[in-house]
Structure formats: structure tokens, C-alpha cells
Copies of this chain bind each other. A is one copy, B any other.
Amino acid sequence: MLSLADFTLTELETVVQTAVSFREVLSRRTPKVPALQGVVVTTMFFESSTRTRSSFELAAKRLSAEVLNFTPGTSSLSKGETILDTAKTYLAMGANLMVIRHQDSGVPQVIARAMDQLNSGVGVLNAGDGLHAHPSQALLDLFTLALVLNPDNPSTSLLQGKKIAIIGDILHSRVARSNLWSLSTCGAEVHLAAPPTLLPPGFAEAFANQSDRPGERSIVQHSSLAPALHQADFVMALRLQRERMAQHLLPSLREYQQHFGLTRDRLICCRPGVRILHPGPVNRGVEISSDLMDDSSLSLISDQVRNGVAVRMALLYLMGVGKTASE
């Protein structure tokens, strides 16, 4: 599970339906199943993220897997070992699934390829790599959207024709990239809006052209907020990294907030019943005004986090079932 670029609609639907099952498990009195008993899940977060690691860790524990947290700060990497040798060490120890986050694009792919070449049977889950992809985030976003559209029978088909605006630092966002693949595969119309330094001219076209069937993907880009929000069904704000200011890509947070920050007023042009998403952590009052964020009739942020556990259970289960040391 490295990128959503090659996920088919059927595969996306499988993830959604499996997450539906685990969402039901999580609502039980004892929200735990023995599905991955004996399976070892290693989290390897070379870039730190307590939030995503906790979500994967809890998902693994709810499936009765063993979790080993590898923290590179106190690791053999500082002793000169290569990342591949670190991964091979965890393979030899008995890891069945590796959840990998790295600041450089492509690291999970490199590890996955090495694991394949060794016929290891190890499944690699990309938990965010550089600017490339963050597939579990996009899948939990998809599941959250489907649940809002039909709580009793969520499905990818509900996304067909919906207008979804993604606002913010598209250029540096792996969350945006992964969502572009999954949402456009489901037939949604994705509208991007950001200052030109964070969304260069031609981005949407170039992105779609990476695909086999670029013509079937509906991705439109804008350099201001209003056309993206117009009649939108959902608005996804992206996190603004403070280092963009140091890179002279933005004059100030305040400047960004004035032109691209979501407020109650600006949502008037959206469709009635519009809902807001954000991958977190949020800079309150920058990407989203504080009152919008706390308005549970508008904000889906808590739903995203909650659904993240079910979606990650689905991913670990789909990749890990049947994998124990003996096989």
C-alpha cells in the first residue's frame, strides 16, 4: 500500500467496505477482534508523527497484532546502518507488516521492492513519504465522505459528480496528491485553490497526465478561493507548514488567512450542507477559523480521526491476514 495512483475503483470500494465492518467492531462493548493474532506490525517513523503512529498502533492492537515501534532517534541509523538494512533486521526479527513514514519521497517503495525481492511476504504500508503520498489519510478522507453521503450504506459510488474543493499548499502536500488520485478515480470533481507559489500554473493538467486515462479525471485549478468554493459539496483545507514563510513562498500566515482561510462567510457560496475536512494538525485561525472548526454541524475533523482507526484496521487486515511467521 504505497500510493493510490494505481488503486482501481474496485480496490477503493474494498477498503471502504472493510472499514465499514471494522467500524462496527469499534462500536462493540469490547472493540477488539483476534484477526491478526501473532502478526507483528512494526511502525518505522523516520519522520515523527504521534498522531498517525498512534492511529496505526491502536488499529493494530484492536486486531490483536503485536506492535513494535522503531524510533530512529535512538537507533542504529545514527550508527551508520542503511535504512534497508534496518528493514531487513525487522524482517528477520519476524515483522509481517511495516508501517513507514519518511521525509523523503520513495523510501517506502524502496523498502517494499527489497522485501519483494527477498520473497519475504512482508507488507509495506506508506504512512506518508516526502511530497509523494499519504494513502491512508486519503482513504480515511474517502471513507468519511462516503459515510456523510450515506451513513447506512457508504460507498465510493456516492462520490460520483460531487464537487470537492482542496484549499492550500497543494504543491507540498502528499495528502492532496493522494486525495487527487482517490477522489478523481471515484468520479468526483476536484477543484484546487491556492496562491500561485503553492499551486504552479499547469499543476492539475500535469498531475492528471501521470494517469493512464487522464481524460477521465476531473481536476480544475484556481488561483483564488471563490471559484473553488462555488457550489462545493465538501471543502478540504490543507495544513500550512510554517517553513513556507522562511522559503519566501508566502509573506505571512495573516496574508494567507485573509485570502484562503475558511470562514463562515466564505462558505455561503458552497452548496447547503457543505462539510469541511482537514488532515490535522490545524493551525487554528489560519486554515480554518476557530468557530468553524468547533462547529460539529460543519467540521468533519473529528470524524476523520475516528474513521482513521477503522480504515487503518482495514488496511492492516487486508494486507496482513494469514501472515504469520510460519508462512
Listed in ascending order, the chain A residues whose CB lies under 8 Å from chain B are 26-32, 37-38, 40, 45, 48-51, 54-55, 57-58, 61-62, 66, 68, 70-76, 79-82, 85-86, 88-94, 239, 242, 280-284, 302-306, 308-309, 324-327
Contacts A66-B58, A81-B281, A284-B85: A38 and B49 contacting too (C-beta < 8 A)? no
Tell me the smallest distance from the CB of A276 to a CB of chain B, in Å.
15
- Check B309–A85 contact: CB distance below 8 A: no
Q: Which residues of B contact A75 (CB under 8 A)?
A: 48, 50-51
Contact B305 A93 (CB under 8 A): yes
Given contacts A94-B309, A281-B81, A306-B94, A58 and B68 within 8 Å (CB-CB):
yes
Contact of A94 among B29, B58, B89, B94 (CB under 8 A): B58
A89 neighbours in B (Cβ, 8 Å): 51, 280-281, 305
Are A91 and B31 in touch, CB under 8 angstroms? no
Task: Give Cα distance in the complex from A86 to B68, angstroms.
Answer: 23
Q: How far is the CB of A74 from chain B (nearest CB, A)?
A: 4
In the complex with contacts A51-B89, A66-B58, A93-B54, A27-B306 CB distance below 8 A: no
Q: Are B94 and A282 in contact, with the CB atoms below 8 A? A: no
